[in-house]
A = this chain, B = another copy of it.
Amino acid sequence: MSGNAREAILAAGRLSAQSHGYGGLNMRELAAEVGIKAASIYHHFPSKADLAAAIAERYWQDTKAWLEEVAAANGDPKAALKKYPETFRMSLENGNRLCLGSFLGAEYDDLPEQVRQQVQTFADVNIGWLADRLVDAGLTDEKGSEAQARSIFAAVAGAQLLARSRSDISLFDTMIDSFQEAGLMPG
């Protein structure tokens, strides 16, 4: 409708993809949510692959902006790191949804190349941000920071995946606590 069908498609598409993945992203349903016909989506995106790539691109851009806000608002890098799991937690709160990067990561074999690239960038954004905080906090040397950052990213994503399949956010919180107590990430 009116203002911007493209933006409405992106927003609804993101939510659907976080619930059902790339394969489960349904063009007719998505169109209905936006108030148009499925064929009309193709006026805004040349294909489902391009739509998914645009959704994933927007997803990492939003994530990056959020992470930068967190870093700016928390001078202490340890305090910033403590906030990191919050986006994953919000996905669970918002309809028990999965991180889009995790869902698309699972579907990686069947993903069009454009989508794969955005999934990689999403991971790079997360790992890069974490590595920068870890170095700033003096928790790792520069050499090992990326490896440590990757481990944190993977562990938090894994915790979200498991908590989601039980529809139980408290499990997510407990797992994050365990990671922090073990010293995998600062708490």
Contact = CB atoms under 8 A, between A and B. Distances in A.
A154 B159 contact: yes
Contacts of A166: 120
A11 interface: no
A34 B98 CA distance: 34
Contact of A184 (B103, B157, B179): B179
A119 B161 CA distance: 12
Contacts of A184: 155, 178-179, 182, 184
A156 interface: yes
A102 interface: yes
Contact of A162 (B19, B105, B177, B183): B105
A174 B161 contact: no
Interface in A150-177: 150-151, 153-159, 161-166, 171, 174-175, 177
Q: Determine the main DSSP class of A at the interface with B.
A: helix
Protomer copies:
2
Interface centre among A105, A106, A164 (most CB of B within 10 A): A106
Contacts of A98: 106
Contacts of A162: 105, 123, 150, 153-154, 157
Contact of A105 (B19, B107, B164): B164
Contact of A151 (B24, B148, B175): B175
A106 B106 contact: yes
B105 A103 contact: no
5 A-B pairs closest in CB distance: A158-B158, A151-B178, A154-B158, A155-B155, A105-B165
